[in-house]
Chain A
Amino acid sequence: MTTLHAVFDKARAEDRAALVGYLPAGFPTKDGGVAAATAMVEAGCDVIEIGLPYSDPLMDGPTIQDAVHRSLTNGTRIADVLRTVEGVAKSGAATLVMTYWNPIDRYGAERFARDLASAGGVGTITPDLTPEESEPWLAASKEAGIDTVFLVAPSSPDERISRVAACCTGFVYAASLMGVTGARETVGSAAEGLVKRTKANTSLPVCVGLGVGNGAQAAEVAAYADGVIVGSAFIRRLLDAPDEKSGLAAVRELASELARGVRR
């Protein structure tokens, strides 16, 4: 199992940013999701976030909503999410689960942390869990030995960044802009300032996500962040592909382009 700590050490040693890719479990199919994430790792992703599909994804844009809807329609369950993590972790990437809070709350915090660790997962990203409500999850994650990643946003004042960063292990996720997930023409101009402000509050690596979709943007972000997170652009490639084989080729190609970007 590759830890986040090892990933960022290696990237630092190579004087580059880490590349983080996101896919929801069960998309485009249960096995197809593992194959796509494995292709992304082979082509250069250091970390994979597996999304836990949720019925009410209120911080996701249309691309991820579409993929999540398909996944739920395919009948994806938490057991499938854990099996996906297990499959992807074998590829050698540090594998996280990104999820809204309610599915963990319902499954049971301790049980989820334990089951995720057993599946080879190294942690979670919880975009709607606030520091005020985080105590049960921090305790369960610590007990299971998995990392906890929370988000900061351009609107976050410094004292809030400090509060959020104190809940994080592994890395801090900096949202590049005010908005929902989805690839955009330009990466938010607020991102660089946010990374600086975050680094002033923590010694953890800071990764930037939201709106990054190509090699040039990855290079731009890699100049100031420890990691570059890409989700919707990978999903777009899979949604647009006529069949599974060309979908795999397309995500592989995108991962290679992004991997060159973070090394520029």
Chain B
Amino acid sequence: MTATEGPILTPADLAGNGIHGNDPDIHGKFGKFGGRYVPEALIPALDEVAAEYEKAKTDLGFLREFDHLLRTYAGRPTTLTEVPRFAGHAGGARILLKREDLTHTGAHKINNVLGQALLTKRLGKRRVIAETGAGQHGVATATAAALMGLECVIYMGAVDCERQALNVARMKLLGATVVPVTNGSQTLKDAINEAFRDWVTNVDHTHYLFGTVAGPHPFPEIVRDFARIIGVEARRQVLELTGGLPDAVCAAVGGGSNAIGVFHAFIEDEDVRLYGYEAGGRGVETGEHALTLTEGSVGVLHGARTYVLQDEEGQTIESHSISAGLDYPGVGPEHAWLKDTGRATYEGVTDEEAMEAFALLARTEGIIPAIESSHALAGALRLGRELGPDAVILVNLSGRGDKDMGTAMKYFNL
């Protein structure tokens, strides 16, 4: 069977296996990470979501419906593009891009959102809320809400509303209410706080359509499973194209959903190295970065035990990245687990390196990537030079860069 024929989704594709078989455990623990640190008021809702998902993930009717939406609405399977002119700058290694930028709404977020929107209907809820950083998850959520007739409220940091104004307009056009969050750092972390406050107040009729693999159990597991199709497809496609598995898989890591999405199908392939690239911002020495896994410490943020950028008294330190989607001082607990077990490697990529890769892909291949994804591209350039010309590197091109043109115009004086 080729990657483009037959069903794209089976129950095994949706869940797969973790490092130790069935991560997370019933409490949502990946090793010591994950779990639930939330107000008791939300526990019944989290239990309800977890129970409904347990039923849904083995329900062939649900899988058929999700598969149908992925195929006919999201535009799956997405293609794999080899980029030799770009790879010429990486010491000649073969670089293959998984083109999530070609999905409907222009980023990998649509996969999770369609799955959770279907879950929302199964839960009998009529309203969805979501946080968004770059606006991609907000746009995807507003899109799915419009498609399924759900009321939709998006929380977005006021700073992010400004740097991603185009996405704010898209969400409004799609019928969503966008609430700018003006407290704290006015970015993704504060949008998540505000979304939790809404949820605890309106939980009887509202589903919190969480956008990344962070947060309390079961969100890290559900979001991973709905994003897992990225790696499932890419694994088949790389095998088909090259006759073997890639030497390395690269992805950008903010909260971590696109990275888990592409990593997870490769976890049991021990020879495939997994690389996550965090936002190094203005450089580790400036303190203005989002290097949660590489510079942070273990703590609790937004309902889960994971790596956090925090001071010695547990106060969250504000992150910085030129890309709103990576500007987050926490990270999904499964990434914390992949780091501690050594299964994946995490490194930083600065704003400058990311913007260079952003421009390079545009000029050499005619593809304008999201600035988030440009961190993975910059990582692949570095890795290619390390691994040499025989290496095959798969990069998750998680989104397209149209939304980033404002930032690019300023950065490059266009």
Residues of A within 8 A of B (CB): 54-59, 61, 65, 69, 72, 77-78, 101-107, 127-130, 132-133, 150-157, 160, 164, 175, 178-180
Contact = CB atoms under 8 A, between A and B. Distances in A.
Nearest to A151: B40
A151 B39 CA distance: 8
A129 B300 CA distance: 10
A102 B201 contact: no
B197 A59 contact: yes
Interface of B: 27, 35-45, 183-184, 189-190, 192-193, 196-197, 200-201, 203-204, 297, 299-303, 305, 308, 310, 312-316
Given A130-B40, A150-B40, A178-B41, A58 B314 contact: no
Given A129-B37, A153-B39, A103 B44 contact: no
Nearest to A106: B314
B184 A130 contact: no
A152 B39 CA distance: 9
Contacts of B303: 128
Contacts of A153: 39-41
Interface majority SS (helix, strand, loop, mixed), chain B: mixed
A139 B265 CA distance: 40
A130 B38 contact: yes
A220 B201 CA distance: 22
A151 B300 CA distance: 19
Can you list the 8 inter-chain pairs with the closest CB atoms, starting with the nearest? A106-B314, A153-B41, A103-B314, A179-B201, A102-B314, A55-B316, A102-B300, A58-B193
B203 A69 contact: no
26 contacts: A54-B315, A56-B193, A58-B193, A58-B196, A58-B302, A59-B196, A101-B37, A102-B37, A102-B299, A106-B310, A128-B38, A128-B300, A128-B303, A130-B37, A150-B40, A151-B39, A151-B40, A152-B40, A153-B41, A155-B43, A155-B44, A156-B40, A156-B44, A178-B204, A180-B197, A180-B201
A57 B37 CA distance: 12
B184 A55 contact: yes
A153 B39 CA distance: 9
A57 B305 CA distance: 16
A106 B299 contact: yes
